[in-house]
Structure 1
Amino acid sequence: MTTGDLDPKNWDEFRARAHALLDDSLDKMSTADQGRVWTPLPNQLKAQIEQPLPRGGGDVDQILRAILPYGVGNTHPRFFGWVHGAGAPSGVLADIIAAAMNVNAGGRNHVAPVVEKQVINWCADVMGFGETASGLIVSGTSLATVVALKTARDQANALASIRGVPQGRLVGYTSNQAHSCIKRAFDLLGLGTDSLRLVPCNDAFEMDTDALIAQIEADVAAGHQPFLVAGTAGAVNMGAIDDLETIADIAAEHKLWFHVDGAFGAAGRLGTAAADRLTGIARADSLAFDFHKWFQVNYEAGLVLIRNDAAHRASFSDRAEYLRGTERGLAGGAFWAVDYGPELSRGFRALKVWAHLVEHGFDALGATIDRNIALAGALRARIVAHERLQPMAPTPLNINCFRYTSDRVDMDILNTEIVIALQESGVAVPSTTVLNGETAIRVNITNHRTQESDLDVLIEAVVEQGARLEKVLDR
């Protein structure tokens, strides 16, 4: 058996090590609903990880096995804090194959581009983008947004040049509830964060479309060049869905690129509970969303879809001589990811997405999403019915924002401490947010393992900690 410098000296021993670690990993996943949600990393284990520079090599299995309980906790059904998918055991198998192949999925004629292009085609179909759309599997919505907005910026500059329009400063629009990745993309692309207009929202935390129109008209009058509006399908604070159809109309009237941030909410098109509020996605010029959220693909994987393949390719296709394609051989292939994004060196993350979608099917994923939305409704009913709990926002999707009420202590401080106490207890992991200047407990239900019994545990723990901390803070 041929062995390289870094290959195992004994493949049978390595196989046994691999099987043992796989068994430990599957044990972890099969008991995801047991024990603590979040467990802080012990100082002793932290010290083992922060060892001096390794020179001679050594055994890593013990530490690999030891770290299993010390993640974020998002595989547990009572992880409610942030929009993290729970993943699925099936993802382990695809990652094993991808690691063993160790391919660069940036291009060339091999299996990875074929798998990636198929996933893009499936998602373009589900999201209503059609057969001619392009796309790219990326690390997540943050990078997907950069890809989409660069394409939009480049198109705006090209059209200004073609039409002979005096080019003022490019400006874009999104709601004040939109994800910060849009602002970050404006910064990274050199547009400047002050070129992104944050449009106010209505009482349902949806973009005020009248205010959007007024802001566009004001910018045109000031000599600026509006080029983009970004709607939100599932705001991270509380799950609001902008009126995407109306925003699409406004974008068409003013000749703006219409982008949708669908980081988690776009997946609602797979089910029935929210699909009727997401029809406007099919009218977008670009869409960004994550597979590792409501699709339940293991971290990390996101997607950008762009309706105009030529525009997408024009923004990124600039191969050096050593990457020149050929009709035949390994330098062939119809889809090179490097032509559609900033990365040439890319792992085979498309494989776990493809395998996940094939194994489970879009219908089962949609049913999971609908069940999460139903659970959020059930939690809201519990909140409304409890005399000490107060809803802080509507529940349009899968996120509840509420607080424990008190007439004795500062409720912002109280609810912040309740959340920290719950996290440290290991019983549940909600998070906090601020709505209309007030701190709220934020409970997001994205986990396919969450049951109604988990909601009961959460409510009981919130009330228990609230009563205890109210006494402590009132001293």
Structure 2
Amino acid sequence: MHTDPPLDPDWDEFRALGKRIVDEMADHLAGIRDQPVWQPVPDTVRAGFTTPLPTGGRPMDEVYEEFRATILPFPRGNIHPRFWGWANGSGVPVAALGDLLASLINCTLGSGGNAAMMVEEQVVEWLKEAMGWPATGSGVLTSGASMGQLTALAAARQACGAADVRGEGAVLGGVQYTVYGSVETHHSVEKAVELLGIGRRFLRLVPVDDAHRIEIGALRRTIRADRAAGLRPLCVVGNAGTVNTGAVDPLDQLGALARREGMWFHVDGAFGAFARLVPSHRPLLAGLAEADSLVLDLHKWLYMPFDVSCLLTRETGVLEAAFRSGADYIAPTEQGPSAYPVAFSDRGVEQSRRFRALKVWFALKTHGADAFAEALAENLAQTAHLARLIEADDRLELVSRGDLNVVCFRYVRPGADARELDRINRTVLGRLQTRGLAMPSHTRIRGAFVLRVAHHNHRSEPADFDFLVDQVRRLGDLAVRDGGS
């Protein structure tokens, strides 16, 4: 007699709960504007996350009710229309359905012939087309830019290196590589040079100009000095949107320099590469498609649910040269799934890979690229609107206005010294966040503590930025009155 597997549910109960979850989450998203952007987790709720391992089960609907009570009200907040912190996308709802389907069919995309592999191939091709990338290039989806930077630099070391790093190790023949980027380069590049054995000491962080873009002259001098010292310059990293300010390095100049020097040119476009979808911003990103490798995060400015990023390479085969491995149990066969010619596990670190591509495929098929380009253009227009509001207010100072979607500003008052202004703006930020009003993040620009708005949100409206400015002015006035505490 047939019996259900022990970990499969009662299908009628599963079906009913699934319908309920979709209905209630649709209501939640439709009403998200009426919720706090963020709120702290109460101690009573926090205590529930310290209980021992469950040994016995509970009904699915009870577990879902616990989720509704203890997790749903206390998220990071990035699906809210007034969330502009760090570099978090807002999440396209239809893509979440793709994620659900990916989990249900539960494919792993290391290798093997199946439709899921073909979906990732298609999504990579679409991203190449969107970036103006060579048709002969290659690519792989990753968890995020951090894995992309590591993968790209490993490919650079294999392609440009003077040593058999894979076979003999990083110090063969005493070769010491150096990597170059601006002082605004993301810290994931620092992690990558550490993990690859190049060493943080040999990551050259070059000064930037007044617009926070890398100084080409200083870069040339640094490379020249390293060659004279017997070092091996390996890679130049250009920023297509820095996290701090949204600045875009002169990518065409960096690419030309890298070619002259015989170096790999990598572009970190995790933050801003998708601005290329907006015709007005394509000239700003000139040179992006000339890079040897490019990282772009779809869960930032393409609004996809976490996590999905992409690494593109200009030449086919460079990823496989750096990562291909073999074992009897994954060797190709003449027929069956193992006969498939593509293995994404040979393009990076991961053998087990989740089906990230389906949510992207689902969203792009549903909405089309033009709809995403329109959303990006709206973000850019709203960022410009915010900058104008700040410049028109004598109690606010526009500290930095990036090339893309980042505005850094602060509350000011005449006669206040730097320390007092920092204290006031910390208070303003804390109250904005903990009261659930809005979620900018913070950084330091030329030593000053500032509020940082990074706009990757498809739900925001101009009125949200009017509200932000009003609240910063109001909370700043209160902070001055109560001494900034």
Q: Same fold by TM (over 0.5)?
A: yes
Alpha-carbon separation, structure 2, partners of 1:32 and 1:272: 31
TM-aligned CA distance change 1:236 to 1:423, over 3 Å: same
Task: After TM superposition, list the pairs within 5 Å mapping 1:137-176 onto structure 2.
Answer: 137-158=141-162, 168-176=175-183
Task: After TM superposition, list the pairs within 5 Å mapping 1:121-140 onto structure 2.
Answer: 121-140=125-144
1:376–1:395: 8 Å Cα contact kept in structure 2? no
Which residue among 368, 386, 389 is the counterpart of 2:396? 389
Which residue among 296, 305, 310 is the counterpart of 1:289? 296
TM-score (norm 2): 0.94
Q: Please provide the CA RMSD for this pair.
A: 1.7
Alpha-carbon separation, structure 1, partners of 2:50 and 2:18: 24
1:380–1:395: 8 Å Cα contact kept in structure 2? no
Alpha-carbon separation, structure 2, partners of 1:223 and 1:466: 54
Which residue among 444, 448, 452 is the counterpart of 2:458? 448
1:401–1:443: 8 Å Cα contact kept in structure 2? yes
Distance apart, 1:69 and its partner CA: 2.1
TM-aligned CA distance change 1:400 to 1:355, over 3 Å: same
Between 104-113 and 400-409, report the one with greater CA deviation: 400-409
Alpha-carbon separation, structure 1, partners of 2:358 and 2:303: 14
Distance apart, 1:2 and its partner CA: 5.0
1:408–1:474: 8 Å Cα contact kept in structure 2? no
Distance apart, 1:42 and its partner CA: 2.4
Alpha-carbon separation, structure 2, partners of 1:474 and 1:62: 41
TM-aligned CA distance change 1:355 to 1:400, over 3 Å: same
Partner of residue 66, structure 2: 63
Partner of residue 88, structure 1: 92
Partner of residue 105, structure 1: 109
1:86–1:446: 8 Å Cα contact kept in structure 2? yes
Alpha-carbon separation, structure 2, partners of 1:155 and 1:313: 11
Is 2:476 the partner of 1:473? Answer: no
One-letter amino acid of the counterpart of residue 395, structure 1: G
Is 2:121 the partner of 1:117? Answer: yes
Percent identity reads: 38
One-letter amino acid of the counterpart of residue 481, structure 2: K
Alpha-carbon separation, structure 1, partners of 2:246 and 2:271: 9
One-letter amino acid of the counterpart of residue 158, structure 2: D
Secondary structure at the aligned position of 1:82 is classed as coil
2:427–2:484: 8 Å Cα contact kept in structure 1? no
Between 257-266 and 117-126, report the one with greater CA deviation: 117-126
Alpha-carbon separation, structure 1, partners of 2:416 and 2:159: 57
Which residue among 426, 431, 436 is the counterpart of 2:441? 431
One-letter amino acid of the counterpart of residue 14, structure 1: F
Aligned residues: 471
One-letter amino acid of the counterpart of residue 95, structure 1: D
Task: After TM superposition, list the pairs within 5 Å mapping 1:11-410 onto structure 2.
Answer: 11-59=11-59, 60-66=63-69, 67-158=71-162, 168-406=175-413, 407-408=415-416, 410=420
Between 59-68 and 349-358, report the one with greater CA deviation: 59-68
TM-aligned CA distance change 1:474 to 1:279, over 3 Å: closer
Residues 350-389 of structure 1 show CA distances to partners (whole Å, capped at 9, x for unaligned) of 1111111221111111111111111111110000000011
Alpha-carbon separation, structure 2, partners of 1:94 and 1:341: 24
Q: Which runs of 5+ in 2 are unaligned?
A: 166-171
Alpha-carbon separation, structure 2, partners of 1:337 and 1:279: 29
Distance apart, 1:61 and its partner CA: 1.5
Residues 407-434 of structure 1 show CA distances to partners (whole Å, capped at 9, x for unaligned) of 2461111111111110011110111100
Residues 327-346 of structure 1 show CA distances to partners (whole Å, capped at 9, x for unaligned) of 32121212211110111111
2:424–2:484: 8 Å Cα contact kept in structure 1? no
Between 252-261 and 21-30, report the one with greater CA deviation: 21-30
1:186–1:193: 8 Å Cα contact kept in structure 2? yes
List 4+ stretches of structure 1 deviating above 4 A.
Answer: 158-161
Q: Which runs of 5+ in 1 are unaligned?
A: none
Alpha-carbon separation, structure 2, partners of 1:332 and 1:226: 40
Secondary structure at the aligned position of 2:401 is classed as coil
Distance apart, 1:43 and its partner CA: 2.3
Residues 214-249 of structure 1 show CA distances to partners (whole Å, capped at 9, x for unaligned) of 101010111110010000000000100000000011
TM-score (norm 1): 0.96
Distance apart, 1:159 and its partner CA: 7.3
Between 408-417 and 299-308, report the one with greater CA deviation: 408-417
